[in-house]
Amino acid sequence: MKFRLNIDWCLEASENLPLKLERLGQKLLTWSHTIRRDRKARKKKFEDRMKELYAKDLDDDIFAELTKIQLELNLDADKEIFWEQRARINWLYNGDQNTTFFHKMVTKRK
């Protein structure tokens, strides 16, 4: 599942960089909500299908489908954990140093 984020940096030459960054931030926020919503819908679909399959008599085909669904759920969870850890590593590397980035983040939190 790939998403394309359309960022038009050059359309409005009169805009300054902070306005362009603000617009980028809003687009990224919208994109993030879309990803999260789609991920939740996908998980719910898998869980609903698993409930349907568990209600039936187990045979080889149903067991194979259950295994496939469980594998998909585990892979999705692994991807999510990977990106959370990656964000944490980036924060530890860039965010806890006495840098401009760190001071901006602290000021923003106030």
102, two tokens? 């760190």
Region 69-74 average pLDDT: 88
pLDDT at 107: 79
pTM of the model: 0.54
Stronger pLDDT, 102 or 104, i.e. the higher one: 104
Mean pLDDT (whole number) for 58-74: 88
Q: Three-state SS across the chain? A: CCCCCCCCCCCCCCCCHHHHHHHHHHHHHHHHHHHHHHHHHHHHHHHHHHHHHHHCCCCHHHHHHHHHHHHHHHHHHHHHHHHHHHHHHHHHHHHCCCCHHHHHHHHHHC
What percentage of the chain carries pLDDT values higher than 90? 11
Domain spans in the chain, listed from the N-terminal domain onward? 17-109
- Work out the pLDDT band at 1, boundaries 50, 70, 90: very low
What pLDDT shows up at residue 79?
Answer: 84
Under the banding of pLDDT at 50, 70 and 90, the label for residue 99 is low
pLDDT at 48: 92
